[in-house]
Structure 1
Amino acid sequence: MTVTDEVDGVMAMKAHLIAQSDRCNDDCPLELKETKLFFRRFWVLAIFSILGCFQCVQWNTWGPLSDSVDVAFHGWGSSTVAMMANWGTITFVTFITPMCWLMTAKGLRVGVLTCAALVAIGTIVRIIPFLTTSDTFFTVMAHVCAICVGIPGTLVMAAPPLIAAEWFPPKERTTATAVAQVMNQLGSAVSYMEPLVVRSPSQGATPAEIRGDIQRLLYAWAGVGSAIFLAILIYFPPKPPTPPSRTSHVERLDFLNSVKRMLRNKDVLLVTLSYGITCGFPAAWISVLNYSLRDLGLDQEEAMWVGLSSVIVSGVVTLVAGRLTDYVYGHIKPSLIFLLICDIACYYWFFLLSWGAITFTKWQIYASVIGGLSFSFASSPLFFEVAVEICYPCSEVNVGGLLTGTNNLVGLTFLFIFFIPNIGFQWVTYLLLGAGALALIPLMFVKEDYSRSNIDRNNLQHSAYQPI
């Protein structure tokens, strides 16, 4: 046999394999499965991300308006505002299991449509009390809205890795997860712009004028919530006709078996613990950030800009971290350790400012708060990615549910501390600093496993691309 004949034989074999992959059925080997990319994946990610952003806006509606709502409605105060945010964590811990089951059993479309319907209903019932003048009725409906909006938070936070796995190729998965999570975080930024619409008592507005501003804002939010629901109802496909990667062909474990496998995996439990501590406290803190900054002399308007800047910068840092992870995979644990060390440094800076150990300046408040929140949130898609890799072939939404359930349980504990009489707000600085340091310990013992990515990232040149 000549060299030419041997080369021709190899080329013929490759051509045969590629042709076979185009005709591949469910019984063919995984390496011959057909994969395609569809442009519609960007619509799926975009509309889901918009829903996540809006859900976060409604969850954090009242924190940025703490001064205004205190005078507009009788009986409101820091405990009421904290409770509105706390409904999100309470409903999350309560409904994370049935909602993850719903999406695992019924598919992505049913789960997302259910979330959009609950958000729309919540924003609509909240405007009904404006037909009356009862502050008590409004407060009750505000709690009902907080519950309706809180339940969808389960899948808004848990589903991004599932959407990434169902619709995106390996080198876009962490980025897709990061985009969905960043848009959810940006909801806090949007909510911190509410003082541009609702005046505060410091601007000389009367309670009646402030109440009118809040009424107009809530009518607008009801319209937006309804529009998002209609958009998802009209078009939100459950999955692409052809999967984007080899492992997308692999049937995931059902809900019960996924839970059993996750709870028996020491590494995923360590990742979950570290994630819950790293992101749980900061995510809850941003909903009541006004109160921590008030002790430093910053009013509602100034706190708005601190919160807004924090969320925007953290979104950029999160996207950069997610994109770098897609390009240089296999080094998630060192990246997480680096982010947590930076996170601890920023919260230590804020701790020193809060206790007067260093000279107070406004720019240092901005820098320390923005830095701490940015590094905390930037670690989120990396935690999700490493957990999904370790748990493969567990369903991604169940893995996300485990992580975010722990995250919200931590946030629930944090917000309940506000109900302790006369506790003040200085304890927050201790908690943020201690949590960052504590989160490093379980992370150090995690053993990384990239089985899913190793399958997907080999021999990707046979994938085809469909523009629509």
Structure 2
Amino acid sequence: MPSEKDPSNEAPTSIKLYRRRWFILAIFVAFSASNAAQWIQYSIVSNVVTKYYGVESIAVDWTSMIYMITYIPFIFPASWLIEKKGLRTTTMIGSIGNCVGSWIKVLSVSPDRFYVTFIGQSIVAVSQVFVLSVPARLAAVWFGPEQVSSACAIGVFGNQLGIALGFLIPPMIVKNSENLDDIGHDLTIMFYAFAATTSVICLLIIIFFKAEPELPPSVSILAEREKRKEEKNRQGVEAGANPGEGEARRGNEFGRQLLRLITNKGYLLLLASYGINTGVFYAISTLLNQIVLPYYHGHEEDVGRIGLTIVVAGMGGSVISGLILDKTHKFKEITLALYALSLAGMAVYTFTLNCGYIAVVYMAAGLLGFFMTGYLPVGFEFAAELTHPEPEGTTVGILNAVVQVFGITFTTVYGQVFTAAGDFVANLTLAGALTFGLVLTVFIPSDLRRQAAFAKGHPSSPKY
């Protein structure tokens, strides 16, 4: 295992882009995908899982919502750990947890072991806190100003790729059979496939993943390293006089970061609008099986493919949005456009769901996914702009924590309204929430602090 080099001990005087940055990003994308794929793997075959384990559909919904619930309390210590120990250590912790949880689920194949599968799912869910906060930070420390938005989009793409696989793979493997032994056999194949994949990815991270390159990729990261080095030297002097003071100072600084973030009005508006958009996506994804099957009986695999269509279209939207951001830096304008088009997509999905033609549902889902999921990396990058120079891990960590609250709320409300009044009213409720989120987005200031820092630094062309 290679030791993690601490570039803060050096005094870098130049800027350089390393080719291996793409390999580092690829490893992270694989890790993110393997974790995200397990989020929806039960809910997308909810009717089969309820039959095999003899549980209610709400119990299956909780295998998805546990991702949201565990994120809220764990993201703050995880964000602190990212800043204190670096990306390598925290990514290793997350990948090990992801692997262990996957293997526990292998042991859950028995109709009386739903609690075992839930334990494994909970461990995988906790590992998520070491995934969602990473893309913005990894992009910042490995990529230059002209690639940072695209790299962040690719990092988020890993999560979307995993969700796509989570929609696609379980319905292909786990069939709706009257024989519980057949279902158990299918579950065994699925669980072993995930466990083997997460094991390989875990080994790749342990062997190859690095926190940051020897030389910084941009002027802003160079300045950050210099500041970190000065802070470390000062703390070393203070620690010699008072060993406990350095730790207290670091804890106080983390508290001040949180205070600055929660008093940033633009950031707070983005938290609310981003939370609404992503919460709606979580709700639709979690209940997709229950919403679509009443209209299209026996189309379990089609439900998975519809979910896949949502996410794959969103991948295209994410990459295109990242490229446009890198070229134009029009963060607020692109955010508004994507939000308005997400609302339009939601309207189309709502009014075409019961048309009787599943091909139309595919098209409506693709339209919804392209704009709604494509908005995700834009929100990450806009948050980094509004809060610079606060650490991206903390900024995105809070953003995702708020998202989980909205996700739990919207999934619960969506399910209750669906049960009480049907899918049309439930979807209209989500459309109303998106309308409110669009209004909030209008009032977010276009305060591009990170771009201002790049312009002030006037970075020269990096060396390859």
What range is the shorter-chain TM-score in? 0.7 to 0.9
Contact 1:82 1:418 in 2 (8 A): no
Alpha-carbon offset, residue 261 of structure 1: 1.0
Alpha-carbon offset, residue 90 of structure 1: 0.5
User: 1:41 aligned to 14, 18, 21, which one?
Assistant: 21
CA deviations on 1:157-187 (whole Å, 9 max, x unpaired) are 1111000111011111111111111121111
Q: 2:102: which partner in 1?
A: 123
Q: 1:445: which partner in 2?
A: 443
Q: 2:232: which partner in 1?
A: none
Contact 1:155 1:401 in 2 (8 A): no
Using a 3 Å threshold, how does the CA distance of structure 1 residues 222 and 208 change in structure 2: closer, same or farther? same
Using a 3 Å threshold, how does the CA distance of structure 1 residues 389 and 102 change in structure 2: closer, same or farther? same
SS in 2 for 1:199: coil
Q: 2:244: which partner in 1?
A: none
Q: 2:194: which partner in 1?
A: 221
**Residue 196 of structure 1 pairs with residue 172 of structure 2:** yes
Alpha-carbon offset, residue 462 of structure 1: 4.4
In structure 2, C-alpha distance between the alignment counterparts of 1:250 and 1:391, rounded to whole Å: 16
Q: Runs of 5+ in structure 2 lacking a partner?
A: 1-9, 229-249
User: 1:78 aligned to 54, 57, 67, which one?
Assistant: 57
Q: 2:139: which partner in 1?
A: 164
The one-letter amino acid paired with 1:86 is M
The one-letter amino acid paired with 2:260 is R
The one-letter amino acid paired with 1:87 is I
User: How many residues in Structure 1 have an aligned counterpart in Structure 2?
Assistant: 424
Q: 2:236: which partner in 1?
A: none
SS in 2 for 1:38: coil
In structure 2, C-alpha distance between the alignment counterparts of 1:249 and 1:228, rounded to whole Å: 30
Alpha-carbon offset, residue 68 of structure 1: 2.1
In structure 2, C-alpha distance between the alignment counterparts of 1:246 and 1:459, rounded to whole Å: 8
Q: 1:338: which partner in 2?
A: 337
User: 2:152 aligned to 159, 171, 177, which one?
Assistant: 177
The one-letter amino acid paired with 1:271 is L
Alpha-carbon offset, residue 199 of structure 1: 1.6
In structure 1, C-alpha distance between the alignment counterparts of 2:296 and 2:282, rounded to whole Å: 22
The one-letter amino acid paired with 1:106 is K
The one-letter amino acid paired with 1:65 is V
SS in 2 for 1:151: helix
CA deviations on 1:404-462 (whole Å, 9 max, x unpaired) are 11111111112334775943652430232112111112211111122322332563334
Q: 1:231: which partner in 2?
A: 204
User: 2:394 aligned to 398, 411, 434, which one?
Assistant: 398
Q: 1:295: which partner in 2?
A: 294
The one-letter amino acid paired with 2:184 is R
Q: 1:381: which partner in 2?
A: 377
Contact 2:279 2:411 in 1 (8 A): no
In structure 1, C-alpha distance between the alignment counterparts of 2:268 and 2:293, rounded to whole Å: 37
SS in 1 for 2:118: helix
Alpha-carbon offset, residue 321 of structure 1: 0.8
Using a 3 Å threshold, how does the CA distance of structure 1 residues 345 and 69 change in structure 2: closer, same or farther? same
The one-letter amino acid paired with 2:25 is L
Contact 1:164 1:173 in 2 (8 A): yes
Alpha-carbon offset, residue 360 of structure 1: 4.4
Using a 3 Å threshold, how does the CA distance of structure 1 residues 418 and 392 change in structure 2: closer, same or farther? closer
In structure 2, C-alpha distance between the alignment counterparts of 1:212 and 1:425, rounded to whole Å: 35
Contact 2:317 2:375 in 1 (8 A): no
In structure 1, C-alpha distance between the alignment counterparts of 2:321 and 2:401, rounded to whole Å: 23
Q: How do residues 247-326 of structure 1 correspond to structure 2 at under 5 angstroms?
A: 247-251=220-224, 254-297=253-296, 299-326=299-326
CA deviations on 1:189-244 (whole Å, 9 max, x unpaired) are 1122222222223xxx6221111111111112111111111111112111110110
Give the stretch that moved more between structures: 438-447 or 292-301.
Answer: 292-301
User: 1:102 aligned to 81, 90, 93, which one?
Assistant: 81
The one-letter amino acid paired with 1:118 is G
The one-letter amino acid paired with 1:96 is I
Using a 3 Å threshold, how does the CA distance of structure 1 residues 245 and 213 change in structure 2: closer, same or farther? same
Q: 2:215: which partner in 1?
A: 242
Give the stretch that moved more between structures: 283-292 or 153-162.
Answer: 283-292
The one-letter amino acid paired with 1:221 is F
Contact 1:293 1:303 in 2 (8 A): yes
Contact 2:282 2:411 in 1 (8 A): no
Overall identity of the aligned pairs, in %: 25
Q: 1:68: which partner in 2?
A: 48
Contact 1:247 1:455 in 2 (8 A): yes
Alpha-carbon offset, residue 49 of structure 1: 0.9
Contact 2:296 2:358 in 1 (8 A): no
Alpha-carbon offset, residue 353 of structure 1: 2.8
In structure 2, C-alpha distance between the alignment counterparts of 1:462 and 1:308, rounded to whole Å: 40
In structure 1, C-alpha distance between the alignment counterparts of 2:36 and 2:261, rounded to whole Å: 28
Q: 2:411: which partner in 1?
A: 415
Contact 1:255 1:395 in 2 (8 A): no
Contact 1:314 1:377 in 2 (8 A): yes
SS in 2 for 1:313: helix
Q: 1:19: which partner in 2?
A: none
The one-letter amino acid paired with 2:420 is I
SS in 1 for 2:390: coil
In structure 1, C-alpha distance between the alignment counterparts of 2:147 and 2:335, rounded to whole Å: 19
Q: 1:454: which partner in 2?
A: 452
In structure 2, C-alpha distance between the alignment counterparts of 1:272 and 1:352, rounded to whole Å: 29
The one-letter amino acid paired with 1:423 is A
The one-letter amino acid paired with 1:104 is E
In structure 2, C-alpha distance between the alignment counterparts of 1:428 and 1:152, rounded to whole Å: 31
CA deviations on 1:42-77 (whole Å, 9 max, x unpaired) are 1111111111111011111112222222222222x3
**Residue 365 of structure 1 pairs with residue 361 of structure 2:** yes
Q: 1:353: which partner in 2?
A: 352
Q: 1:4: which partner in 2?
A: none
Give the stretch that moved more between structures: 189-198 or 106-115.
Answer: 189-198
SS in 1 for 2:17: strand
CA deviations on 1:312-335 (whole Å, 9 max, x unpaired) are 111011101111111111x11111
Q: What CA RMSD, in Å, does the superposition of the two structures yield over aligned residues?
A: 2.1
Give the stretch that moved more between structures: 98-107 or 60-69.
Answer: 60-69
Contact 1:291 1:425 in 2 (8 A): no
Alpha-carbon offset, residue 112 of structure 1: 0.6
SS in 1 for 2:98: helix
